[in-house]
Amino acid sequence: MAFGYGAGAYQQVRSHGGVEQADPHGLITLLMDGALDRLLKARGYMQHGEVAAKGETITRCIDIIGALRDSLDHTVDADFSGRLDSLYEYMGRRLLHANANNDLSALDEVSKLLQPIRDSWVRIPADARQRPAAQSAAE
């Protein structure tokens, strides 16, 4: 699979926070980094019994995972984006479980699932990020 192939799984991402001019690849990276950061924070809150902060942080992480799901472009490669969608949906369910059951292993599981996606995402070459999704998938 070419690096650009995975990049095509995401639509043009736009944010409501005044970053309409930002690079879509960079926005996805920020979302993934934000989710991973919140997973670490939620772990600390859970370990220290800070229930409200844990709940708020996990809820925000679920929202970020939802934004990643919403950004998928199912018209480029329905199979690939469908698998990512299912994985993100699973992550959301595991986060709900982690929150309800104070399950550190569920938080760790989501981190272990998301980290390699993020690592692969940031290794996409700059020229592949700018190509139309259909062209990237064909290579």
Could you read off the pLDDT of 57-69 as tens digits, one per residue?
Answer: 999 999 999 999 9
Report if residue 134 sits inside a domain.
Answer: no
Confidence of residue 16 (pLDDT cuts 50, 70, 90): very low
The reply to whether 138 falls in a domain is no
pLDDT of residue 95 exceeding 90: yes
* Segment 37-40 long-range contacts (CB within 8 Å, at least 24 positions apart): 38/64, 39/107, 39/110, 39/111, 39/114, 40/111
pLDDT tops 60 at residue 114 = yes
Q: pTM (2 decimals)? A: 0.79
67 or 128, greater pLDDT:
67
Domain that holds residue 47: 23-121
33 occurs within a structural domain: yes
Question: Residue 20: pLDDT band by 50, 70, 90 thresholds?
Answer: low
Measured CA to CA, the distance from residue 119 to residue 68 in angstroms comes to: 15
**Rounded average pLDDT over 33-55:** 98
pLDDT of 4 strictly over 70 = no
Tell me, what CATH number does 77's domain have?
A: 1.20.120.340
Residue 49 — very low, low, confident or very high, per pLDDT cuts 50/70/90? very high
Q: What is the per-residue pLDDT for 11?
A: 47
Is residue 133, in this structure, part of any structural domain at all? no
The count of domains in the chain is 1
117 has pLDDT over 90: yes
| Most confident by average pLDDT, 11-25, 31-45, 125-139 | 31-45
Q: What DSSP designation does 135 have?
A: H
Q: Is residue 2 part of a domain?
A: no
Report if residue 5 sits inside a domain: no
Count the Cβ atoms, other than its own, within 10 Å of residue 84: 20
DSSP 8-state class, residue 72 = B
User: Between the CA atoms of 24, 26, 27 and 29, what dihedral angle is there, to the nearest 10 degrees?
Assistant: 130
| Domain membership flag for residue 80 | yes
| Residue 10 located in a structural domain | no
